[in-house]
Structure 1
Amino acid sequence: MNRPPAEFRIVFPDPLRRFVTDVFVAAGMRAEQSAFLSGLLVTNDLRGVFSHGTRQVTAYVDHFRNGRLTPTAAITTVRESPATLVLDGGGGLGYFPCYEAVTRLVPKAKSVGIAIATTTNHGHFGAAGIYARVPLADNLFCFVTSGHQLNLQPDQFVMRAAGGSPMAFGIPTGEEPPFVLDFGAIHDLYVGPEGMKAILDIAPSTVLRSFGLGCACQALGGLLCGIPVDAQEADRIWSGANQGSCMIVVDIANLLPVEQFHREMDAYARAVRQMTPFPGQEKACLPGGIEWEREQQFTQNGIPIRHKDFQALEKLASDCHLAGLT
């Protein structure tokens, strides 16, 4: 779970966007793409999704420098129908084909009611919630997941088969913050057999549900995208382009009047806020409420970047011969 760090440096969003843009340009990415990716990462920081914000910049630059991904990927359309879309990411980061895919799904879903896209041949696509949010303004709900190349072996613990298991649900609201549930099915279960036994003794169904969800994500966000179970069958120019994604977008208006759904979602959000929160939490809210509040707060007061991440960004500045954030 993303929590604001205990020790941090305050950085305001505009200079952080400019800095990250300059870093990506220095790493070989085109200026327009650099600014776009910088905006996505800083917005994640603003929402408190620090794990998938500017903390990732160092890893991405490393992928470019070491030839695992290309900073100048060209996206191509593999196949398309009125309700479907398949994009090839060209060996670059996943943000670009995935954002294009979900954007192109919006008019498809508006036209035929439901649309689905897969993407392939790219690296990390970041936070699944980025894409689940895109259709909300058009009163569409969205499911997003991703998978990656596994290398399953008989001597491995079975939880490895669940992969990375990211997924997100975006559901539109009226006046209330948008409902965005963004999580990994097995995030707290990256433990070996001994640690898993202790969890199974307490909550066996939780473990099995998480495993099942993770496997479903791998099937839809990996196998359906052309990523083989056997890693030896993969044919890649860029070794880091080992991920895929699957997105489904649905037009609510074909199921219920939009105004009625908005009213019910708003009433739902308000009712939940009046309830007793989870232990250790200050307030109760629907998924997406905390991120909405943090975005307002951090936009005004600055983003709390933990010291370790701030230092990593400063080192990048030095490596790229750029001015730092200080």
Structure 2
Amino acid sequence: MNAPSVSFRRASAAGVKGLIADCLAAAGAPRPDAEAVAGLMTEADLTGADAHGVFRLPQYVRRLRAGGFNRTPSIAVERTAPATARVDGDNGIGHLVVKRAAETAIEIARETGVAWVGVRGSNHAGSAGLYAEMAAAHGMIGIYSAVASANHMAVWGGNELLLGTNPLAIAVPTGTGPMVLDMATTVVSYGTIKKHVLQGLPMPEGWLIDRDTGEPITDPAKAGRGILLPIGGYKGSGLSLMLGVLAGILNGAAFGRDCVDFNADDTSVTDTGQLVIAVDVARFVGLDRFTAEVDRHMAALRGSARMAGVDAIRLPGDRRRECRAERAASGIPLPAALVAQLDTVATELGVKTLGER
């Protein structure tokens, strides 16, 4: 059976950002906060992280209106040692909290050469690569991880949802823009599953298995019965666990059974934990020398012999960079089902729809 076709429409980045900001402000967020979140969400869309941009707007609006987010958080930074700090997000929208954490890490790393900033009291913050990339823009290596805002994976060999897609992002400055690795510890993010559910698209085998039978799930209507599979088998499960310890338990944030499924619960405090690490390259080697060496090795990797049928070797950040350039020029592609959702949210809030921008 052929997969159903999906129609898309293009929307300008300015239009998407304006819609997000207007909707968040209408739902109760202070205008400056709404603008900041909108900028980060739109950047996720521009760089190809479609499950973490405007796709999330209806959910964020629901949580704002239901009281699940603190509309006016007092985000507090506690400097715990020369190279460490902890940020308490006061249940604010995650983008605001992690942005503050990344800024704090960069500031500390300028002083000490390296910084580790832990986060608690946060929420879902969208695309992981955004926050690692902030450090790279300042000539630093950036590392970001988080406890996912819902558990969709079991520990290896189990069938109870106790681990998340806990992402890892690493950004390295190069001469042509940052090289960014942004990955979930599951084969795909749960946001990708949600996209397939919204559009009614079948899923490939190897993404989800039935938690009772272990059989593959490809029908998006049955996704709720599934367990996301980890990357690399038990290795991905172990990586998710360790990142959860570092981003969650170390910060006094939620982990395991304590995690709240923010996809199903719009009112409970999630107490999401995250971490940002910044490393000042110049403390080890001159930045120009470092980027030149990275560029040299990247060129060698791209120019290396290829397997049969491979037209080009791609490195972390290549698709991200190409996608941003193409979408900045041609607009962000949005499936019709998502546009319909966004139009409903905009109408309910009394703001202009995408088509009116």
TM-score, normalised to structure 1's length? 0.86
* Number of the residue aligned with 2:74: 74
Q: Single out whichever of 302-311 and 268-277 deviates more from structure 2.
A: 268-277
Q: Is the 8 A contact 1:140 1:250 kept in 2?
A: yes
1:266 pairs with 2:295: yes
Query: Residue 166 of structure 1: CA displacement?
Result: 1.0
Deviations, residues 84-116 of structure 1 (Å, cap 9, x unaligned): 111111112111121111111112112211110
1:205 and 1:294 mapped to 2: Cα distance?
Answer: 24
- State the AA in 2 paired with 1:309: L
* Number of the residue aligned with 2:247: 221
1:254 and 1:6 mapped to 2: Cα distance?
Answer: 50
Identity between Structure 1 and Structure 2 (%) = 25
2:171 and 2:94 mapped to 1: Cα distance?
Answer: 19
1:165 pairs with 2:184: no
Deviations, residues 164-203 of structure 1 (Å, cap 9, x unaligned): 21110011111x2311111111134543465489xxxxx9
1:286 pairs with 2:315: yes
Q: Is the 8 A contact 2:149 2:259 kept in 1?
A: no
1:32 and 1:108 mapped to 2: Cα distance?
Answer: 25
Query: Residue 290 of structure 1: CA displacement?
Result: 0.6
Query: Residue 81 of structure 1: CA displacement?
Result: 2.8
- State the AA in 2 paired with 1:318: T
Query: Residue 295 of structure 1: CA displacement?
Result: 0.7
Deviations, residues 284-317 of structure 1 (Å, cap 9, x unaligned): 2211111111111111111111112111111111
* Number of the residue aligned with 1:297: 326
1:210 pairs with 2:210: no
* Number of the residue aligned with 2:115: 115
2:181 and 2:154 mapped to 1: Cα distance?
Answer: 32
How many residue pairs get aligned? The number is 313
Deviations, residues 243-294 of structure 1 (Å, cap 9, x unaligned): 1101111111222222221112112222333346789876322111111111
1:316 and 1:277 mapped to 2: Cα distance?
Answer: 48
2:310 and 2:38 mapped to 1: Cα distance?
Answer: 31
Q: Is the 8 A contact 1:145 1:247 kept in 2?
A: yes
* Number of the residue aligned with 1:32: 32
Q: Report the 3-state secondary structure (helix = DSSP H, G, I; strand = E; otherwise coil) of the residue aligned with 2:40.
A: helix
- State the AA in 1 paired with 2:31: A
Q: Single out whichever of 55-64 and 252-261 deviates more from structure 2.
A: 252-261
* Number of the residue aligned with 1:200: none
Structure 2, unmatched stretches of 5+, are 189-206, 217-228, 261-266
* Number of the residue aligned with 2:132: 132
Q: Is the 8 A contact 1:129 1:181 kept in 2?
A: yes
Q: Larger % of helix: which?
A: 1
Query: Residue 143 of structure 1: CA displacement?
Result: 1.2
Q: Report the 3-state secondary structure (helix = DSSP H, G, I; strand = E; otherwise coil) of the residue aligned with 1:133.
A: helix
RMSD between aligned residues: 3.0
2:230 and 2:246 mapped to 1: Cα distance?
Answer: 25
2:301 and 2:179 mapped to 1: Cα distance?
Answer: 12
* Number of the residue aligned with 2:185: 185
2:34 and 2:149 mapped to 1: Cα distance?
Answer: 26
